[in-house]
Chains A and B, each alone.
Chain A
Amino acid sequence: MIEKGKISGLQMAILLYPTIVATAELVLPAITGEVAKQDMWLSPIWASFFGYLSVLIAYRLHSYYPKETLLQYSETIAGKIPGKLIGCGILFFLLHTNGMNLRDFGEFVNGNFLEQTPLTVTIASMAFVCALAVRGGLEVMARSSQIFVPVFILLFMFIVVLLIPALNPGNIAPVLGEGLTPSIKGALVPTQWFNELFLISFLLPYLGENENGLKWGMITTTLIMITLVITNLLALLLFGDITSSFTYPIMDAARYISVADFLQHVEAVEMAIWVTGMFIKISVFYYAAVIGLAQLLNLSDYRPIVFPIGLLLISISMWAAPNLQKLTHFSSTTWPFYALLFQMIIPILLLLAVITRKKFSKTQLS
């Protein structure tokens, strides 16, 4: 195996948690609010079912091939050439999605704080930091996120608590005023964020012995779901009907904080949350892509390809979309279906193939 590090179940959870929450925390209220209106806080709950399913599928596949990642066993299951093709598809998806993540990061930082700074500079500096983390290996990433994630959660709680006086609980009514449909429709995009948990299949092989991957996967999904429900409730109770009219509702919520006339202007906190979260998110996607490519090409070490892939990521992030409008449009219309194919359908097909083959071979044997 080219990755020699081992991580614990908790570390895996701590890597995956910001991987989903980071992007969602900022734009989820705007995207779900658009269709789900005052029921938007229910959407993450429906979407989380896909998260559980994703973890379950990855874990089942893992139990058949405990030492291999998604790209390796797809080759074993589907055969050499089709397996490599699937691998290429998944790699493309990882790189593309990560490019979009990087772009999201850059757009946010440039749109809200560093207006004059070239987008490339913001993106490239983030990519560089992530490259160093990925180059350090899985253990390094896990340990750095052990430092960052508590800070991430603490700062998020800070914003939530400070906003409580400004919230209006009445905004939540009428609950299910138009039935379940709006909240389920609102779950479409978050569903695919939850499906990003399929990345667990790149981490499970490196879990230390005696670690319960399934248990930690489920815990992670639940924590993510709770965080996203809180995020949506926060935006809903503060802004009500106008939530979806903001680009980054939580950002505007953080700017709204004013306690006793002196504790205000805390948007830097929101920025810190976003940057730490995005750092881990991009690193995890980046790591999956790097290790995937190394396995696809049967390299003996993945370190030499870290920086080249980083350059590719920067380019992809620039190519991803001409502006924020198109980026948002793509990631809320096309991307969910495109992601569904790689994050859910391919793993399901692989799992079905394994199960039927096992059954078939058993009947042959007996």
Chain B
Amino acid sequence: MKLLQNKGKQLLTITLCVIPIFLSGCWDRSEVNDLALIVGMGLDRTDEGDIELSAQIVNPKAMGGQGSSENSQSGGQPVTVKTGTGKTIFDARSKLQEKVSRRLFEGHNRIVVIGKALAERGIRQHIDFFARFPNPRLRANVFFADGKASEILKIMPNFEQDSAEVARELAELRIGMKVTTKDLLQQLASESGATALPRILVDKSDSGEELRVNGTAVFKHNQLIGQIDDALTRGLLWVTDEIETASVTLQPKDAKDYISFKLLRSSTELIPTIKNGKWKMTITITSEDDVVENETKLDMMDPKIIDKLQKQLNKRIRKRIKMVLDDVQEGMEADVFGFADAFHRKYPKQWKKAEDKWDETFPEIEVAIKSDVKIRRPGRSGGPQGVPQDKEATE
């Protein structure tokens, strides 16, 4: 008892007695080998109107033993795709859980693929799960599949471990649009009422099946209203200032051969103006290119030639953008360009009045496109290669 007389030691004893109580139960203990890591999710609509959730789950047997041949035989594919059907995503998820021996975990989910049948009935109602349920992250990339989403997830790619990683990397390269769950939530809540999602396709060839990001699906007021192809998507990326990698190939006037340029950087500004009640949008694009290939006999060091090429490049960009405007602004009447936000930001008062009539105003907006391309460098060579000095063409 003498030990306990010291006050400090008394406290210590009490603490030591209390701690084991908390050790006996760890409510939220979750071991990695009890989890089924979901890396990709696909949403489809069944004929009965239910949601079919496909989950690409990392195959634990194939993990870790990649080097040894023994494991790769018994382990099989690095990921498996399981599906479940239910009224909501979570309902489908619980059906899916019945088939999986480990607890489903969406914390590492990288992509969400939305199938066509589901997208036609709207996407807003289904995206809530990804912003409410604790596990998923808002960083996951969202794609539109012009067929069944589960087909996309089932592809076993050559380079990467799973199709989810392929899709994410493709989005990161900005071949098409890059839309994360957060971006999608913002688009859905935005004033324009229009949403655009990158389209993902299965590319069948002799060497097997590969994924491809190609084109864009356009939604208006939560309805799928159309799809645009790759060329138009590039135009859309120019307008939304998302273009990062681009190659432009031109055929100079009076030449048989081509010149290729590589885009270094580009920035787009949307400048809205309201004059006498007339709404106008000016799209200003400044970009820099390098020459990377010259098939012609033109001298790439000649400033005059470069001037002409710049003009031609400008024309090309304007044409691209005009194409997408014709198709999406006038055809689909969907504001996926962010015009609504641009007007709201610059003219908050006028916007407040015209807000409700945006759907009628938008197709009528006059758009001016200004492009300023600067060709920076001729590349590693100056004049054309393989041509004697005196045979070089001047203009």
Q: Please give the residue numbers on chain A whose beta carbons come within 8 Å of chain B beta carbons, in ascending order.
A: 111-118, 121, 125, 170, 173-174, 177-178, 238-242, 245-246, 252, 255-256, 258, 264-265
Q: How far is the CB of B120 from chain A (nearest CB, A)?
A: 24
A311 to B161, CA, bound (A): 53
Contact A242/B185 with A116-B27, A170-B341 known, Cβ cut-off 8 Å: yes
Between A and B, 11 residue pairs with Cβ closer than 8 Å are A111-B134, A118-B27, A121-B22, A121-B27, A170-B345, A178-B348, A178-B352, A239-B186, A241-B186, A241-B189, A265-B107
A173 touches B182 (CB 8 A): no
Q: How far is the CB of B242 from chain A (nearest CB, A)?
A: 12
A112 touches B134 (CB 8 A): yes
B28 touches A240 (CB 8 A): no
A239 to B28, CA, bound (A): 30
A256 touches B137 (CB 8 A): yes
Provide the residues of chain A in CB contact with B346, threshold 8 Å.
Answer: 173-174
B138 touches A174 (CB 8 A): no
Q: B190 an interface residue at 8 Å Cβ cutoff?
A: yes
B28 touches A113 (CB 8 A): yes
Contact A245/B138 with A114-B28, A117-B27 known, Cβ cut-off 8 Å: no
Q: How far is the CB of A163 from chain B (nearest CB, A)?
A: 12
A177 to B348, CA, bound (A): 5
A255 to B27, CA, bound (A): 23
Contact A115/B134 with A121-B22, A125-B22, A264-B139 known, Cβ cut-off 8 Å: yes
Q: Please give the residue numbers on chain B whose beta carbons come within 8 Å of chain A beta carbons, in ascending order.
A: 22, 27-28, 107, 131, 134, 137-139, 182, 185-186, 189-190, 341, 344-346, 348-349, 352
A112 to B137, CA, bound (A): 12
**Closest B-chain residue to A264, C-beta based?**
B139
A256 touches B189 (CB 8 A): no
Provide the residues of chain B in CB contact with A114, threshold 8 Å.
Answer: 27-28
A242 touches B186 (CB 8 A): yes
A245 to B139, CA, bound (A): 17
Provide the residues of chain A in CB contact with B131, threshold 8 Å.
Answer: 245-246, 252
Provide the residues of chain A in CB contact with B345, threshold 8 Å.
Answer: 170, 173-174, 177
A115 to B135, CA, bound (A): 11
Q: Name B's interface SS.
A: helix
B139 touches A242 (CB 8 A): no
Q: How far is the CB of B104 from chain A (nearest CB, A)?
A: 14
Provide the residues of chain B in CB contact with A111, threshold 8 Å.
Answer: 134
Provide the residues of chain B in CB contact with A256, threshold 8 Å.
Answer: 137-139, 182
A239 to B185, CA, bound (A): 9
A185 to B352, CA, bound (A): 20
Contact of B139 among A116, A174, A177, A258 (CB under 8 A): A258
A242 to B344, CA, bound (A): 16
Q: How far is the CB of A4 from chain B (nearest CB, A)?
A: 18
A174 to B346, CA, bound (A): 6
A113 to B30, CA, bound (A): 11
A356 to B137, CA, bound (A): 59
Q: How far is the CB of B94 from chain A (nearest CB, A)?
A: 15
Q: How far is the CB of B135 from chain A (nearest CB, A)?
A: 10
A11 to B341, CA, bound (A): 46
Contact A241/B190 with A115-B134, A173-B345, A246-B131 known, Cβ cut-off 8 Å: yes
A114 to B30, CA, bound (A): 10
Provide the residues of chain A in CB contact with B138, threshold 8 Å.
Answer: 252, 255-256
Provide the residues of chain B in CB contact with A113, threshold 8 Å.
Answer: 28
A118 to B190, CA, bound (A): 39
A203 to B178, CA, bound (A): 52
Provide the residues of chain A in CB contact with B185, threshold 8 Å.
Answer: 242, 245
**Closest B-chain residue to A265, C-beta based?**
B107
Contact A174/B341 with A242-B186, A255-B139 known, Cβ cut-off 8 Å: no
Which of B107, B190, B345, B352 counts the most A-chain CB atoms under 10 A from its CB?
B345
Contact of B182 among A117, A121, A170, A239 (CB under 8 A): A239
Q: How far is the CB of A97 from chain B (nearest CB, A)?
A: 27
B189 touches A245 (CB 8 A): yes
Q: How far is the CB of A229 from chain B (nearest CB, A)?
A: 20
Provide the residues of chain A in CB contact with B22, threshold 8 Å.
Answer: 121, 125
A265 to B37, CA, bound (A): 14
Contact A174/B28 with A115-B134, A242-B185 known, Cβ cut-off 8 Å: no
Provide the residues of chain B in CB contact with A125, threshold 8 Å.
Answer: 22
Contact A117/B341 with A178-B348, A240-B186 known, Cβ cut-off 8 Å: no
**Closest A-chain residue to B349, C-beta based?**
A177
Provide the residues of chain B in CB contact with A239, threshold 8 Å.
Answer: 182, 186
A115 to B26, CA, bound (A): 11
A242 to B181, CA, bound (A): 12
**Closest A-chain residue to B191, C-beta based?**
A241
**Closest B-chain residue to A238, C-beta based?**
B182
A116 to B341, CA, bound (A): 42
Shortest 4 CB-CB distances between A and B: which pairs?
A: A177-B348, A173-B345, A116-B27, A117-B27
A242 to B131, CA, bound (A): 11
**Closest A-chain residue to B341, C-beta based?**
A170
Contact A116/B137 with A173-B345, A241-B186 known, Cβ cut-off 8 Å: no
A177 to B344, CA, bound (A): 9
- What 7 new A-B contacts, CB under 8 Å, besides A115-B134, A241-B189, A255-B139? A121-B22, A174-B346, A177-B348, A239-B186, A242-B186, A245-B131, A258-B139
Provide the residues of chain A in CB contact with B349, threshold 8 Å.
Answer: 177
Provide the residues of chain B in CB contact with A116, threshold 8 Å.
Answer: 27-28
A115 touches B344 (CB 8 A): no
Contact of B348 among A174, A238, A258 (CB under 8 A): A174
Q: How far is the CB of A128 from chain B (nearest CB, A)?
A: 8
Q: How far is the CB of A270 from chain B (nearest CB, A)?
A: 13
A115 touches B28 (CB 8 A): yes
Provide the residues of chain B in CB contact with A118, threshold 8 Å.
Answer: 27
Provide the residues of chain A in CB contact with B107, threshold 8 Å.
Answer: 265
Contact of B137 among A121, A177, A241, A255 (CB under 8 A): A255
Which of B22, B131, B186 counts the most A-chain CB atoms under 10 A from its CB?
B186
**Closest B-chain residue to A117, C-beta based?**
B27
Provide the residues of chain B in CB contact with A173, threshold 8 Å.
Answer: 345-346
Provide the residues of chain B in CB contact with A177, threshold 8 Å.
Answer: 344-345, 348-349
A286 to B182, CA, bound (A): 39
Contact of B189 among A117, A121, A242, A258 (CB under 8 A): A242
A279 to B389, CA, bound (A): 78
Provide the residues of chain A in CB contact with B28, threshold 8 Å.
Answer: 113-117
Provide the residues of chain A in CB contact with B182, threshold 8 Å.
Answer: 238-239, 242, 256
**Closest A-chain residue to B187, C-beta based?**
A242
Provide the residues of chain B in CB contact with A258, threshold 8 Å.
Answer: 139
Q: How far is the CB of A236 from chain B (nearest CB, A)?
A: 12
A255 to B139, CA, bound (A): 8
